[in-house]
Amino acid sequence: MKKNLPVLCVFLGAVMVGGCGPLFPPGTPPVYYQVQGHGPASVPCPQKKSEPLRVWPLNGAPPYDRTDFVILRNANVVELSSRHRWIAAPGEMAAQAIAEAVSRARIFSVVDRPGSPGFVPQLHLGGHVREFAFHPGEGPGEAVLDVRVFLWRETAPKRLVFEKDYRFAEPVPDGTSPQGFAEAMNRAVARWLSELTRDLCESPLDGIGSTTP
């Protein structure tokens, strides 16, 4: 068993903070990955809405409010990568991907992000990132995406017009590769965006309650 300890330390150091020590020496710059979620070309929505939409960053409770890769070995163990990171927090990447997908599908007259000049739309999209993590497992790992998306109108009071939970998992065939994890998460995001754009296209957005999301 003692002979295998150095090999085990190298393996763990590649995917988490702490343990037997990092695989890369201090001062080695981090590697950044980006989620874009590009899937098949979007078919224009036949039920296009005439109003504009503003897409806000999705909220993420710790550890999903940071850029580190999150590794979940079981329900009670959360590990953060010391080297492999996203270019932005998951909620920000998700918002950018939503804005691009909804624009390609031509669901709304205009799609913008906070800070865009010119007008303040009444219809807004936000949400919560509940899981954006890598599950190594004993066999092929999984990239898991779990989010809640909602739309509301900035009226008095605010009116919730759409809400839905989404959860997708994609396998990581090579087990623990950070690159494989990033590619699998891209596939999960692509599946989510495909379903989300279809739901937004088909939804009348005529209100499901007067509340604050």
Burial class (CB in 10 A: 0-12, 13-18, 19+), 132: buried
SS3 190: helix
Confidence of residue 11 (pLDDT cuts 50, 70, 90): very low
Percentage of the chain lying above the pLDDT 90 cut: 61
Classify residue 200 as exposed, middle or buried by CB count within 10 Å of its CB (0-12, 13-18, 19+): buried
| CA 183 – CA 131 distance, rounded (Å) | 17
Whether residue 189 is predicted with pLDDT greater than 60 in this model: the reply is yes
| Entry pTM | 0.82
Higher pLDDT, 37 or 41: 37
- Mean pLDDT computed over every residue of the chain: 83
pLDDT of residue 3: 44
Name residue 60's beta-bridge partners.
129
Residue 20 has pLDDT above 60, yes or no: no
3-class DSSP state of 99:
helix
25 CB-near residues (< 8 Å, 6+ apart): none
